[in-house]
Amino acid sequence: MFYYFCLILDFPNKGYSRHYQYLTKTIMRIPPIETQKEIVSILDKSFESADNMLKYVADSLDKAELLKRALLRDAFNGKI
């Protein structure tokens, strides 16, 4: 959560320097632990769905490649 919080902060561009002085002046609101757990649960389900979709797409691409090879083989062997 801290990482995402830092992404929305507007730090001055001073190259490779520490931004501790800016962080100490910033109030970071943290939701109650129960709300954090709900957020994590929602994100976990979303990432699981995304992972399943990626696996499905990868499997589909593998099957499409096999089908393409089979069609080309049959075409070159005069079966089509």
Tell me the per-residue pLDDT of 23-58, one tens digit each, with 9 for 90 and over: 777 787 889 999 999 999 999 999 999 999 999 999
Here the tokens at position 40 are 């994590």
Here the tokens at position 19 are 């931004």
Per the confidence metrics, is the pTM higher than 0.85? no
Residue 1 has pLDDT above 90, yes or no: no
Q: 6-40 as b/e, with b when 16 or more CB fall inside 10 Å?
A: eeeeeeeeeeeeeeeeeeeeeeeeeeeeeeeeeee
The C-alpha atoms of residue 62 and residue 58 are separated, in whole angstroms, by 6
Of the chain, the end-to-end C-alpha distance in Å amounts to: 58
